[in-house]
Amino acid sequence: AETWDMPMAYPATNYHTENGVTFAECVTEGTGGALEIVVHPNGSLFSGSDIKRAVQTGQAPIGERLLSAHANENPMFGFDSIPFLATSFDDSDKLAAAAHDAIVAALDEQNLVYVYSVPWPPQGFYFKKEVNAVADMSGVKFRAYNAATARIAELAGMTPVQIEAAELSQALATGVAESFISSGSTGVDSKVWESLTHFYDVQAWLPRNTIFVNKDSFNGLDEGAQAAIMDCGAKAAASGEARAKELTDQYLKTLAENGMTVAAPSDELKEGLKGFGATMTEEWIAAAGDAGKAVVDAYQAQ
Amino acid sequence: MAQEFWPLAIFLFTLFLLLGSGVWIGLALLGVAFVGMELFTTRPVGDTMMTVIWRSSSSWSLTALPLFIWMGEILYRTRLSEDMFRGLSPWMARLPGGLLHTNVVGCTVFAAVSGSSAATLTTVGKMSIPELMKRNYPEPMVIGTLAGAATLGLMIPPSLTLIVYGVTINESISKLFMAGIFPGLVLASMFMSYIAIYSRLSSRFEPTAEPVTTFAEKLKNSRFLIPVLLLITLVIGSMYLGFATATEAATFGVLGAMALAAAQGSLNWESLKESLMGATRTSAMIALILAGAAFLSLSMGFTGLPRALATWIGSLGLTRLELLMALLIFYIVLGCFLDGISSVVLTMAVVEPMIRQAGIDIIWFGIFIVVVVEMAQITPPIGFNLFVLQGMTGHEMNFIAKAAIPMFLIMVVMVFVLITFPGLATWLPENIIQRPGG
Amino acid sequence: MDQTTRAGVLRRVLDRIYSASAALAAACLVAMLGVIVMQMIARWSAFTFPGATDYAGYLMAAASFLAFASALNSGAHIRVGLFLTALGERRYWGELWCLVVGTAATVYLSWYAVRLVYWSWKLNDVSQGQDATPLWIVQMPVACGAILLAVAFADNLIALILTGRDNIRDDVAVQSHAE
Ligand code: NA
Ligand code: NA
């Protein structure tokens, strides 16, 4: 029997990790114990940033990563993080389907075999005041942590402040930042109601965690085991997404229960954000080239 | 079960062989990790090693370390210790125990700008040892209280041990720093109580009486304390109020220390260069240990040993207190032979899962480990405060270690105080982030 | 030129390389301080300094690795010396063992540090932060520092074998600064 170590970046209680454990059990069962996958959660083996490279170079045979973090390397990896392009679970699935072949090819070039991906809850805006239009955002101190969030700040006329994830709570409490964009889970985890008042469920984008296998390790398996991995992957993709939807509702409820105003964006705000989306989609296509254009076209044709 | 612990036996054997024979600690850890990986995985060892070494060496949270070391190096080259003695002694003279308290209070104050115990010891001791001996204070008390109180350098923020702990377990360094403040003050007051009681009970306590000073004179002398108090406010205050992260507070510290040195006229090109080179060497030394530890932790992760051990400890059904007592004894023994930073990084890969599984607060545990590491500073045969005092006083190690025994016992009591009142450590970190927005 | 002066020249050249590398490491620390100060100023004045934390991290790694060799010779690297002291007159053999292990470990480290750079270049690995720096560039000082550390160990090993003593000062005072 063979044992595969599977590094994952998030805590053992995170639904991505729980889902990964179910996937691992499914594979062990599907191969009759010939291939055992051992999950190492919480970056305990490799930190999140190192997982892709570790699997690429065979340091680990399989792993999970937020692929959009590697958009510097290949803009295609950032397809799921174009703001205000695909703004619901259904749209996110359509976009992922449109990008599937391109992602499989991009990973293949890096010695990786794509298995499955699961979305995070959608990204929404946290504010300290009521915001009904893009104009209301002007001048607000907004947490920018990467190029895309810095660009959102710029388009909205907000003041970008650079804050690491670990320092977010402190920055909000002391007023260094007054606004940020993230999923409902971040807000719950950092008890954001202690500092901010409004959450707008704009569903700006749904980043995805992707599971991939080292190509040499994959080719070293017999066909039965390969099929088991892919079948279990398909199952895990479905169950992971179902869980994400369920949790999204719970998180928003928790925010509301703690006194935050949780609302859908007003039509005017929605229109304004859609404008940002068009601009940033153009910019992404400019970076990702023809392959990127094909993905966006295929998505919009659906 | 026996099969699961084979890796442990091999790790321990290699570790004892390499460390015990005198191989440099960072490299010994690399060696142990290498042996573990070669035996228990089929993964490419060298490349895997470099992945984690690069990640841990280029970590953002580590940047606080060289900066706080540099700050201490600059302050060591200033007139700070003279000024502190002059400012503090008029206030201490009337207390039971007299100027012995300048050792404890001086260390407490200096600990708030220095991240290291030995630096605290040298800075405070270079002034207080000769002055106290001149006044006929019993020598074992002078040396003992200094050896003990200097360890506050590790608990009262900034603290190199807490930075290393925070980096190793990936927790907020600012929070750990905040957690150290109250326990540090409690420990300092326990040292002072001991001095007071000793001075009342001992027949050998007959120091020269201090001249009587008026309140106005005392206040006037206190002006010497202003620079160091400003520096403390700048470093700890900026973190507490959320203006700065630990690393940024460290840059305030370096720049503030430079300003202080410049104001005293002790800042020149030569001393600046010396302080910088000293900081570079010391932080490189710690970086090598951290690199080795990062690889060792990965290697153990591949064997599944930490989780197996955590599960095993869990299955023993130990109470929280029993587990902590076992760890206390374990770390005291380890601390006899290893320096604090090495014993923290060496054990965390195995101890962290245990602690989390037992539901012990990881920030609180940081303070627990600091007290234990503080004890290691004054236990023979390897205790850096003992070495430093040996160099400063010329006494035998035995004499110094014996003088420090009461301080060691007070720290053991401190562990139980922490266990009984966990809020001492956890209250402040839980409350810094809840400050109203400003 | 006779044997001793040639050895003397080599000694001086090597020592100069170690100090130059340490000076470079110190410069990295100063630059790191500069980056952090600039990041703070940027934040207070509502600008951003994209990738500041990443740059500070690279400088941290460079500062550490470039100073390894000089830290070795100045006795800054910690070790447990009980056994060596206990050896008394046979200490030579203990030191020899340590230097052989140290040389082997650091040659191994430097070989893979070079491979780290090579693979980053080969895989076109780019920083995931806003700086988007190609990693092979910032990993170069790490490889150089690791190689120099291996050289320093080999240097000491050869010196020990030829002259009976190495060039490492055993400096507890320096080591204690970290504690
Ligand atoms: Na301190
Ligand atoms: Na000790």
Question: What integer is the mean pLDDT of B394-404?
Answer: 88
A chain contacts of residue B43, beta-carbon cutoff 8 Å: 5, 58-60
Q: What is the pLDDT of chain C when averaged over all its residues? A: 91
Name which residue leads in pLDDT, A110 or B62: A110
Q: What is the pLDDT of chain A when averaged over all its residues? A: 92
SS3 A30: helix
Which residue intervals of B338-396 are DSSP H helices?
340-357, 362-377, 384-393
Predicted local distance difference test score (pLDDT) of residue C2: 60
Ranking A6-10, B170-174, B198-202, B294-298 by mean pLDDT, the lowest is: B170-174
Beta strands in B83-185 (DSSP E): none
Q: CA B169 to CA B369: how far, in whole Å?
A: 13
pLDDT of residue C173 exceeding 70 = no
pLDDT band at B10 (very low <50, low <70, confident <90, very high): confident
Q: CA C83 to CA C62: how far, in whole Å?
A: 33
Alpha carbons within 13 angstroms on the beta-carbon side of residue A5 total 24
Q: Would the CB atoms of B437 and A45 count as touching at under 8 Å?
A: no
Q: Would the CB atoms of C132 and A72 count as touching at under 8 Å?
A: yes
Interface subset of A 160-179, CB within 8 angstroms of C = 160-162, 164, 176
Q: Would the CB atoms of C26 and B73 count as touching at under 8 Å?
A: no
Predicted local distance difference test score (pLDDT) of residue B438: 25
Q: Would the CB atoms of B282 and C82 count as touching at under 8 Å?
A: no
Q: What is the pLDDT of chain B when averaged over all its residues? A: 87
User: Nearest chain C Cα to B60, which residue?
Assistant: C57
Predicted local distance difference test score (pLDDT) of residue B437: 28
Ranking A20-34, B411-425, C161-175 by mean pLDDT, the lowest is: C161-175
Q: Which ligand is nearest to the CA of B155?
A: 1
pLDDT band at B214 (very low <50, low <70, confident <90, very high): confident
Task: Report yes or no: B264 at the C interface, CB cutoff 8 Å.
Answer: no
Nearest Cβ partner of B280 from C37, C63, C82? C63
Predicted local distance difference test score (pLDDT) of residue A252: 93
Distance of residue B42 Cα from the nearest chain C Cα, in angstroms: 17
Predicted local distance difference test score (pLDDT) of residue A161: 82
| For ion ligand 1, residues whose CB falls within 5 Å | B 111, 153, 156, 159
User: Nearest chain C Cα to A69, which residue?
Assistant: C128
C chain contacts of residue B54, beta-carbon cutoff 8 Å: 61, 116, 139, 142
Task: Report yes or no: C39 at the A interface, CB cutoff 8 Å.
Answer: yes
A chain contacts of residue B174, beta-carbon cutoff 8 Å: 170
Q: Would the CB atoms of B384 and C116 count as touching at under 8 Å?
A: no
Q: Where are the domains of chain B?
A: 63-431
C chain contacts of residue A72, beta-carbon cutoff 8 Å: 126-128, 132
Interface subset of A 234-263, CB within 8 angstroms of B = none
Which candidate in B285, B289, B346 is best for mutational testing of the C interface (most C CBs within 10 A)? Answer: B285
Nearest Cβ partner of C125 from A53, A69, A176? A53
Q: Which ligand is nearest to the CA of B379?
A: 2
Q: CA C136 to CA C141: how far, in whole Å?
A: 10
Q: What is the value of pTM for the model shown?
A: 0.90
C chain contacts of residue A160, beta-carbon cutoff 8 Å: 46, 48
Residue with tokens 């032979």: B337
Predicted local distance difference test score (pLDDT) of residue C140: 98
Q: CA A24 to CA A39: how far, in whole Å?
A: 7
Residue among B192, B195, B110, B104 at smallest CA distance from B159: B110
Distance of residue A286 Cα from the nearest chain B Cα, in angstroms: 32
Which candidate in A56, A72, A110, A170 is best for mutational testing of the C interface (most C CBs within 10 A)? Answer: A72
User: Do B81 and B124 meet the contact criterion of CB atoms below 8 Å apart?
Assistant: yes
Burial A1-13 (b: 16+ CB within 10 A, else e): eeebbbbbbbeee
How many angstroms is it from B322 CA to the middle of ligand 1?
Answer: 30
User: Do B383 and B377 meet the contact criterion of CB atoms below 8 Å apart?
Assistant: yes
How many angstroms is it from B47 CA to the middle of ligand 1?
Answer: 37
Q: Would the CB atoms of A194 and B434 count as touching at under 8 Å?
A: yes
Tens digit of each residue's pLDDT (9 = 90 or more) over B231-282: 989 988 887 777 788 888 899 999 999 999 998 888 899 999 999 999 999 8
Question: What integer is the mean pLDDT of C52-69?
Answer: 96
Helix (H) or strand (E) holding A78: none
Burial B53-87 (b: 16+ CB within 10 A, else e): bbbbbbbbbbbbbbbbbbbbbbbbbbbbbebbbbb
C chain contacts of residue B339, beta-carbon cutoff 8 Å: 78, 175, 178-179
Question: What integer is the mean pLDDT of A245-261?
Answer: 93
How many angstroms is it from B158 CA to the middle of ligand 1?
Answer: 4
Q: Would the CB atoms of C132 and A57 count as touching at under 8 Å?
A: no
Question: What integer is the mean pLDDT of B22-50?
Answer: 93
pLDDT band at B334 (very low <50, low <70, confident <90, very high): confident
Q: Would the CB atoms of C123 and A56 count as touching at under 8 Å?
A: yes
Tens digit of each residue's pLDDT (9 = 90 or more) over A56-114: 999 999 999 999 999 999 999 999 999 999 999 999 999 999 999 999 999 999 999 99
User: Nearest chain B Cα to C118, which residue?
Assistant: B47
pLDDT of residue B436 exceeding 60 = no
Tens digit of each residue's pLDDT (9 = 90 or more) over C10-41: 999 999 999 999 999 999 999 999 999 998 88
Question: What integer is the mean pLDDT of A200-211?
Answer: 94
pLDDT of residue A155 exceeding 70 = yes
pLDDT band at C178 (very low <50, low <70, confident <90, very high): low
Q: CA A17 to CA A64: how far, in whole Å?
A: 9
pLDDT of residue C81 exceeding 60 = yes
Backbone angles phi, psi at B197, to 5 degrees: -65, -45
Q: Where are the domains of chain C?
A: 3-170
Any residues with CB less than 8 A from the CB of A86 and at least 6 apart, and which? A80, A92, A94, A95, A205, A206, A299
The dihedral through the CA atoms of A96, A98, A101, A103 has a sign that is negative
Measured in Å, how far apart are chain C's first and last C-alpha atoms? 47
Cα angle B279-B285-B289, degrees, rounded to a multiple of 5: 140
Tens digit of each residue's pLDDT (9 = 90 or more) over B73-94: 898 888 888 888 888 888 888 8
Neighbours of A, requiring at least 3 CB pairs below 8 Å, are: B, C
Q: Would the CB atoms of C179 and B116 count as touching at under 8 Å?
A: yes
Q: How many CB pairs under 8 A join B and C?
A: 212
Percentage of chain C surpassing pLDDT 90? 66
ipTM of the complex, rounded to two decimals: 0.91
State the DSSP code for A122: P
B chain contacts of residue A45, beta-carbon cutoff 8 Å: 298, 301-302
Question: What integer is the mean pLDDT of A205-216?
Answer: 96
The two three-digit tokens of residue A32, written as one number = 């009759």
Give the number of other Cβ atoms within 10 Å of residue A51's Cβ. 27
Which candidate in A36, A44, A127, A141 is best for mutational testing of the B interface (most B CBs within 10 A)? Answer: A44
pLDDT of residue B31 exceeding 90 = yes
Q: Which amino acid is at A179?
A: S
Residue with tokens 């520096």: B231
pLDDT band at C175 (very low <50, low <70, confident <90, very high): low
How many angstroms is it from B119 CA to the middle of ligand 2?
Answer: 17
pLDDT band at A128 (very low <50, low <70, confident <90, very high): very high
How many angstroms is it from C30 CA to the middle of ligand 2?
Answer: 33
pLDDT band at B160 (very low <50, low <70, confident <90, very high): confident
pLDDT band at B393 (very low <50, low <70, confident <90, very high): confident
B chain contacts of residue A258, beta-carbon cutoff 8 Å: none
Neighbours of B, requiring at least 3 CB pairs below 8 Å, are: A, C
Q: CA B203 to CA B201: how far, in whole Å?
A: 7
Which candidate in B14, B24, B71 is best for mutational testing of the C interface (most C CBs within 10 A)? Answer: B24
- C-alpha dihedral (C84, C90, C96, C102), degrees to nearest 10: -10
Residue among B50, B46, B384, B371 at smallest CA distance from C177: B384
Any residues with CB less than 8 A from the CB of B68 and at least 6 apart, and which? B114, B115, B158, B160, B163, B250, B253
User: Do B47 and C119 meet the contact criterion of CB atoms below 8 Å apart?
Assistant: yes
Nearest Cβ partner of C178 from B60, B67, B116? B116
Q: Would the CB atoms of C48 and A53 count as touching at under 8 Å?
A: no
Predicted local distance difference test score (pLDDT) of residue C174: 61
Ranking A116-120, A232-236, B338-342, C139-143 by mean pLDDT, the lowest is: B338-342
How many angstroms is it from B26 CA to the middle of ligand 2?
Answer: 18
Predicted local distance difference test score (pLDDT) of residue C4: 67
pLDDT band at B434 (very low <50, low <70, confident <90, very high): very low
The two three-digit tokens of residue B358, written as one number = 């037992």
